[in-house]
Amino acid sequence: MPNAATISKGILKPHFEIKGLSNLSGDVEVSGAKNSALVLMTASLLTEEVISLNNVPELTDIKGMGEILLAMGVELRQSPSSLELCAKNLKNSEPPYELVNGLRASFFCIGPLLGKLGQAKIPLPGGCRIGARPVIEHIKGLKALGAIVTVEHGVVSASVPGTAKKLRGSAIVLDCPSVGATETILMAAVLASGKTTIENAAQEPEVQDLANMLNKMGASISGAGGPTITINGVEKLNGCSYNVIPDRIEAGTFLIAAAITRSTLRIKSVFPDHLSSVLQKLRDCGCAIEIDEDSITIIPGDINGVDITTQPFPGFPTDLQAPFMALLATAKGTSVVTEKIYENRMQHVAELQRMGASIRVQGNSAVIEGIPQLSAAPVTGGDLRSTAAMVLAGLAAKGTSKVEGLNHLDRGYAELEVKLNSVGGQIQRLP
C-alpha cells in the first residue's frame, strides 16, 4: 500500500526514502557544470563544424536541450559524458514551443541564431518557479547590436535588417550583471561586424567557460571573468573539442552534505577558486577545509550560525542558499539568510519547518534559530535547489524522510543518490 504522502490526485510520485543520521566518508566525484554545458551546446549553432563536448552531465535538462537542437536540424551524437554536435544542416530558427516551454536555457539559442542566420523566434522560457527571471537585459543587448526585437503572445521574435543579415558591434552597459544576458550577447556578438564591449558583465565561471570555448573556436574575446568584456567580431567560427568545467553548485552541495552530517568528505574534480565564498562560509561555521589542486576535503567541527547574503559571483551563490539554510537549521545560535537574486526563493522554508527547523521569514530574509536535531518528515522540493536542500536535511534528520520533487532534482544533479550512497548515504529511489 503506497504511503499517502507520495500520492497526489491518485498518481504515485517518484520520491526518495532517506534514512537519516548518516555518517558520510570517502571521496565523491563532481560532474560537469549543467549551467555551462547547456550554453556550450547552443554555441554549437555558431559553426558548421563539429563541436565535441566532454565532461557533460547526464541530466534531463541536457536531454531537453538536445531535443531542441535536433528539432532545428542539428546532428547530435551522445556517449557517456560526451556530446558531438554539428549544425551544418541548421534549418530552423524557431525551436518548438512544446520543447522550449519547460527549459529556461533554451532562450540562449536566440543569440547564436541571430548571429548565424540573422533571425530567431523563441518562446519565453519556463523552468523552475523561483521568480520572474526576466529576459529584458538580453533583449536590450540584442537591440544594441542592431536587431529588431518584438515580444508578442509570449514569443520573442528577432531579426537583423538589411541584406547582409549581420549584427554590428556596440557598447553595451548592463543594468545588472545578468549571467544569461552576458552569455546571450557574447554569442550574438562573436560574428558581428566590429567591436562589442559589455560593461557590468557577469563574472561567473560559466561565462568564462563560454568565452574560452568560443575563443577556441576562433572568436576574439578578452576580459571574461571581469566586469568588462571585449568582443572583436570574426567572419566565421570553427569546430573544437572542449571540456566542460566542474559543477561548482554540485560540489558545494556535497560540501554542505558533509557539514550537515558532521562527516569528513573529499570532493574531487573541482576548481576550488570557483567556491571561494562558499568555502569561507563553511570555515566561518566551524569547518576545516583542506584544498588540493583539484579536490577539497572538509572536516566539520561544531557548526555555528553565520549570516549569508546571496550575490553575483564571486559572492555567495543563490543556487546554494537553500542547501546552506538546511545546514544552518542544525547550527548553534542564530543565522540570517538574505536572498538578493530571486524574489521567490524561500519555498524550502515551510518544508524545513516540517522537519522541526525554527525559521521565520521577514521579506527576503530568513532568521534561523539552530536546533540540535531535525526530524524526518514527508517533504517536497518546489524547485531544483530546494529539493537538494530536502535531501541534505533528510541525511541529517532522525528517522526516515520521504522527499518528492525528483523531477526538479534530476534537472541539475546526475545520480545524486548514487553518489551520496557511495559515501555512506542511505537513499532509495521509489517507485
Would you name the residues annotated as active-site residues? 128
Distance, in Å, from the CA atom of 175 to the CA atom of 170, rounded to the nearest integer, reads 16
Q: Rounded to the nearest 5°, which phi and psi values hold at 143? A: -65, -40
How many whole angstroms separate alpha carbon 272 and alpha carbon 248?
A: 8
Identify whether the C-beta of residue 38 lies closer than 8 Å to the C-beta of residue 105: yes
Cell digits for 21?
Answer: 543520521
CB neighbours (10 Å) of residue 271?
A: 16
- The CA angle 139-132-251, to the nearest 5 degrees, is 100
Helix (H, G, I), strand (E, B) or coil at 177: coil
Report the interhelical angle of 179-189 vs 110-117 (nearest 10°).
10
| The residue to which cell 529556461 is assigned | 104
253 strand-pairing partners:
none
Would you say 206 and 182 are in contact if contact means Cβ atoms under 8 Å apart? no
Residue 125 DSSP one-character state: P
Gyration radius from the chain CA atoms: 22
Amino acid letter, 62: I
Full DSSP string of 228-279: EEEEE--S----EEEEPPB-HHHHHHHHHHHHHTT--EEEES--GGGGHHHH
Q: Taking the mean position of all CA atoms in its chain, how far away is CA 121?
A: 24
Give the cell for residue 330: 542544525
In a 13 Å sphere around the CA of 1, the CA atoms on its Cβ side amount to 1
Distance CA 51, CA 76 (A): 10
